[in-house]
Every structure is written in C-alpha cells, then in structure tokens.
Amino acid sequence: MKKTLLITLISVLAFSTIGYLSLQENSQNVRAQQDALILFKQFKKNYNKKYADPDFESYRFGVFSENLEILKTDSTFGITQFMDLTTAEFSEQYLTLKVNKDLKKGQIYQANDDVEIKEIDYTTLGKVTPVKDQGRCGSCYAFSTTGAIESALLISGVGEANTLSLSEQEIVDCVKEPEYNQLGGCQDGYMDESFKYIIKNKISKAADYPYTAVEGKCQDTSSFQKYAISSYVDIPSGDCKALLTALQERPISVAVDAKNLQFYTSGIFSNCSDNLTHAVLLVGYSSSSLKIKNSWGPYYGENGYIRLALGNTCGVCNAASYPVL
C-alpha cells in the first residue's frame, strides 16, 4: 500500500514538473513572439515598409522572425532594411554581379614596390560622393563604376563631392549585349564593360539622366553635358598588395561576396567566401580594416559603408579595376 502510494506521488510530481516546464517553454515562446512583433513594428516604421494585405504581412513577419535567429550568429549583424527577405530573395534581387575575367581587356596594373602603403580614407578627404541607393535593381556594377569615376574627377579637381553625381541609369539602359558581353540592366553587369561604354560614349550627369531603378530604353544623350575617361586599369587578380598600392592614388571598383552582408550593421566584417556577387567601391585602408562604399543607401551599415577585415576578405582583391581620365 505504501509502495503504491509512493509510486503515485512520484508520478504526480513527474507530470507536474513536465507540465511546469512545458508551460515555462510556452511562456518563453510567447514572450519571444511578442518581442519579435515589437521589433517588427519598429522595423516597418524605420524603413517605411508597406504590405499588400494582412496575409502577406504575416508571411513577412515570419521571415523577419526567422532572420532574428540569424542575427545571433555574428556580432556585426543587426536589423537592416532586408530583414523581411529570405536569403534566396535577397540574393536574387541584389547579388547579381557576373564577373567574367576572360572579358577583361584593360591595362594591367604594374605596382611600384617603392610606394609606401599608408592609411588613407578618401571620404575624409572629400573625394567620395554621397552614398546612393540602387533600390530593387541589380545595378551595383553601375554604382561602382560611377563612384570610381566621380572620385577620379574629384581628385583631378573637377566638381564637388556633394554635387557631382553621374548617371547609373545610363549604364543600366545602355551597357548591354552583344557589344558589352553582358545582359546589363537590372540583371547582371560588370564594371569593366561599363568603363568600355564610357570610353566610347562618355557618361551623363544623373540630373540629366536620372535613376529609376528599372531597366529602360537607352536615351539619346547627345545634348547632355558628359564626362570622359580614356581607359581603365585591371589589378592582377588576388594581388592584395597591388590593390593597396593602387589605392594610394584613388578609390577602386571592387567585387565582393555579399551573401551575408544582408544583415551587416557595423564592425569589421569577415563572414564571407570569395564568391563574387556584388560590386562596391574601395575608398579607404587602415591598420585594421578596408573601408567600402556600398550602394544600399545611407541607412545601411555604417552610414552606407562597410568595414572589411584586412587581406583578401570576401574576394575583394580578385576583380579590382579603376578608370583613367
């Protein structure tokens, strides 16, 4: 009798403990959902997010909640404007760069071993134009191209950083197959092919040929004021020392693996491979990092910029080039 009673008491206690733990787990899940909902509401407000209907918003909240778990995996991660996109959606919309090294026909950079590699930041020197936003168009290559030319012009004494802005839309609309060996538009493109177009046709101001974030018909630009380049230079693939040497004289168009940059907010980033998917502009070097100008708007990352760990991080040394005025 006593043995039976003891077994019954143990069973009751065991079920009570399981029930308590289950309730505690459910309570934690509810709190996590509530916290996620608060963050989602703030996210919508910060980035002016609008959704077509409640069902679609509910789906995006689910994606947002799943991405919150990813943020725990890297100290440089935080809530960005891309938090409601799956990694597949982000890649399809933003990581469209196609690097075909066989098509590169620029001059090959010859590094001067006598050049001292010093810390430099062209943004503090006033030789970099403000950060732009490519929107939902895979036109990163066009922004890397114009950014490099804008900086070259500023260094040469042409224009001012806050007012000089060249036309990415002209590149999106006009640098296409078959002449330039790429689809162009919002699908894929490459800086070298864009440089080739500008050598032949020059480039308009953004004010005359404004950005729309969609591919359009190439316009007649004969009446626009245009800027010229004479050639472009390719830095040997993988030669990081040559890249830093060239950086002593100008910002440089580079390509990086940007898959995990979807969630970057601040800090020195190194969570990447060398699968080149995104074009950016290298604008600075310090003893701890490389400074990158991105084209996802000034509210992304560190006021629109990214800091990469030194070395060939994200393949930054593998497809670098710059224009010559």
Residue 307 has phi, psi (to 5 degrees) of: -110, 125
Burial class (CB in 10 A: 0-12, 13-18, 19+), 200: exposed
Give me the amino acid identity at 12.
Answer: V
State the Cα torsion 235-241-247-249 to the nearest 10°. -90
Residue pointed to by tokens 């732009």? 132
Region label for 261, one of left (φ > 0), alpha (ψ between -120 and 50) or beta (otherwise): alpha
- Residue 294 annotated in active site: yes
Coil, helix or strand at residue 191:
helix
Coil, helix or strand at residue 264:
strand
Contacts of residue 235, defined as CB under 8 A and 6 or more positions apart, other chains included, come to 109, 242, 243, 246, 252, 317, 320, 321, 322
Q: Which one of the listed residues 67, 137, 174, 278 is annotated catalytic?
A: 278
Distance in angstroms (rounded) separating the CA atoms of residues 234 and 311: 18
Q: Which one of the listed residues 294, 314, 317, 318 is annotated catalytic?
A: 294
Coil, helix or strand at residue 292:
strand
- Residue 29 annotated in active site: no
Query: Is there a contact between 256 and 280 (Cβ–Cβ < 8 Å)?
Result: yes
- Residue 260 annotated in active site: no
Contacts of residue 211, defined as CB under 8 A and 6 or more positions apart, other chains included, come to 132, 135, 167, 168, 169, 172
Q: Which residue numbers are catalytic?
A: 140, 278, 294
